[in-house]
Structure formats: structure tokens, C-alpha cells
Structure 1
Amino acid sequence: MDLSTLLRPDAVKVLATVTSKKRLFQDLGDIAHSAYGLDAIQTVDALQEREALGPTGVGHGVALPHARLHGLTEVVGVFLRLEKALDFDAVDRLPVDLIFALFAPKDSGVDHLKALALVSRTMRNAEVCAKLRVNTDPAALHAVLTAAAGAQAA
């Protein structure tokens, strides 16, 4: 499993401003719908349900929201870079500007966990995050993410 199979280029976006976590989840749902055909409302509901269990802001400006969805056959991702960081109730109380959302089939056990671990390792890499923060081109962001994960797997 690698990020190039989880993350389509059209699922990588840069957003100027997001005013709330709820708005962010709506944007993630819209992008997941356009990139993967997921039901936007079901996606938003699942993200909010998961977030109610505890914040997915993991620190250092990174959030990893994730949810399991009915009707999905494989794990897929959406990456957002925010131009203005958003308060996300992260563990370190810092606002987030890098969001990597994962969506997995409802019954995916180990695949969901492997994908989450891969994304988490990638987003803990300070060099990768620095490159993501200086780029505003979605294609360049996708290239940084997929190259970084490939290098870590080697």
C-alpha cells in the first residue's frame, strides 16, 4: 500500500479560508464526492461522528480525520492545505493547516489501520510538512506526498 494508490491527484486541494471544522468537513465531503463518487452527506456525517469520539488533530499543524463508509470498496484519501490555519482542537492546541482525510470501507479492518499508519508516518515527517506548506499547486502537493511515502517504504 502506498499513497499513490490512496490519493488521486484530483483529491488534493488548496483552500484559502475555512471558517470552522464543520465547514472543513463539508469541503472534504464535496471533494470526496467529486474525486471518488462518495456520498457527500454520508461522508460529512461519518467524519463528524468519528470526530465526536475525539479530535483527530495530531499536532504540529496536522489533522488526520477519518471515517468508515458503507458502499466503499477501498481506502481512499483527500488532502487539503489551508492557507489560513484552522482551530481544530488538536492535541497540542495549535491550529491546523495540513489535513489528510482517509475514508475506508465499513468492514475494512487492517487495511484502514495500515493506511492510517502510512499517512501518519508521512505527515510526522517535518521535511515533508515544510514542503507541503511552501507549495500552493495541487499537483506539486500530490507529488510531494507520493514521493515522500515512496521513499519511506524503501
Structure 2
Amino acid sequence: MALIKTDHIFLKENFTSQDEVMHFLADQAVSLGLSNDENKVYAKLLEREAEGTTGMMDGFAIPHAKDTTITAADIIIVSLVNPVDWQSLDGSPTDFIIALFIPDSEAGTTHLKLLSSVARLLMHQDVTKGLKAAAIPEEIANLLNSKLAEN
């Protein structure tokens, strides 16, 4: 089964702040059936961000939420028309978000495997360039699913 689903990929979204992105992610987590509590997911995303930025390098961020209201481990991907401030490790604004949603029961296992796999992929320039160049969700899903299958 493919981990990255095309209906979980939202390209060229127009948000002006990290907070707007977090609200969108929480809303989509409920819309896509990953959780039944948008407010709880939003709070968990912010709680994790308060522990330390999930903004990585080169415009990428990997926010994540772990909670009992999340029913299955899943990923939502968002690209932005204009980058937003995310207090990234390299100080650059973020325009590509790969959000992880993990049930509490899988917090130590699935969460860490998924997070490390995604973070490792973002260290490869062919992956980051391919993600940013993608024009349709299928291109992103195909690229990430093939790379995740290699791990």
C-alpha cells in the first residue's frame, strides 16, 4: 500500500502564516478521516512546534501530531504559493510542508520510523528538487512512495 496518497497532497495553497497552515492541516486531518477532533490535532501540532521548530532546511518543514484522536498513521503534504516564516533551522522561509499524523499507540515506533525516513529523504537534492518541481500530486506521490520503498 502506498503511504503517500494523492488526495492528501495540496499544491500551491495560499497561506500567509504558519498558523494558517496548521489550521489547514488540522482541518484536513478531519476531512480525510485521520482524526475526529480538529481542535485537538491543531493543539498537538502547536505543542510539538513549541518543543522546537519542525522547519528543516531549504524551505521544508515536517510538523507532526501524535494523539489518541488520530486513527491511523498518515501524511499530508502542502506546497505554498508564497513561503511563510517557520523559524527553520537555516533561517529560510518554508514553502513545502510534509505533515505526519500518528496515533498515540504508535508514538514510539511508527512515528520515529516515518519521521526519520522523511527527514533522510529531504537530505537528497534530487528528492527536494523533484518535490518542488512537481506540478501535480501524482508526481509527488510517485517520487516519495518510490523513495520510501527503497528505505
Give TM-score, length-normalised by structure 1. Answer: 0.88
In the other structure, the counterpart of 2:119 is 120
Distance between the aligned counterparts of 2:148 and 2:101, measured in 1? Answer: 18
Distance between the aligned counterparts of 2:66 and 2:125, measured in 1? Answer: 28
CA distances 1:19-49 after superposition (whole Å, capped 9, x unpaired): 1111000111122222234222211111011
AA matched with 1:43: V
Q: For 1:93, which of 69, 91, 95 is the aligned residue?
A: 91
Secondary structure of the structure 1 residue equivalent to 2:66: strand
Is 2:56–2:62's contact at 8 Å kept on the other side of the alignment? Answer: yes
In the other structure, the counterpart of 1:8 is 5
Structure 1 unpaired stretches of 5+: none
The structure 1 segments of at least 4 consecutive aligned residues displaced by more than 6 Å after TM superposition are: none
In the other structure, the counterpart of 2:145 is 146
In the other structure, the counterpart of 2:31 is 34
Secondary structure of the structure 2 residue equivalent to 1:59: coil
AA matched with 1:106: D
AA matched with 1:123: L
Distance between the aligned counterparts of 1:49 and 1:27, measured in 2? Answer: 16
Q: Percent identity?
A: 29
In the other structure, the counterpart of 2:132 is 133
Shift of 1:68: 0.5
Q: Compare the two structures and name the one with the higher helix fraction.
A: 1
The count of residues paired between Structure 1 and Structure 2 equals 149
Is 1:14–1:137's contact at 8 Å kept on the other side of the alignment? Answer: yes
Aligned-residue RMSD, C-alpha: 1.6
Structure 2 unpaired stretches of 5+: none
Give TM-score, length-normalised by structure 2. Answer: 0.90
AA matched with 1:129: T
Distance between the aligned counterparts of 1:20 and 1:73, measured in 2? Answer: 27
Distance between the aligned counterparts of 2:142 and 2:54, measured in 1? Answer: 24
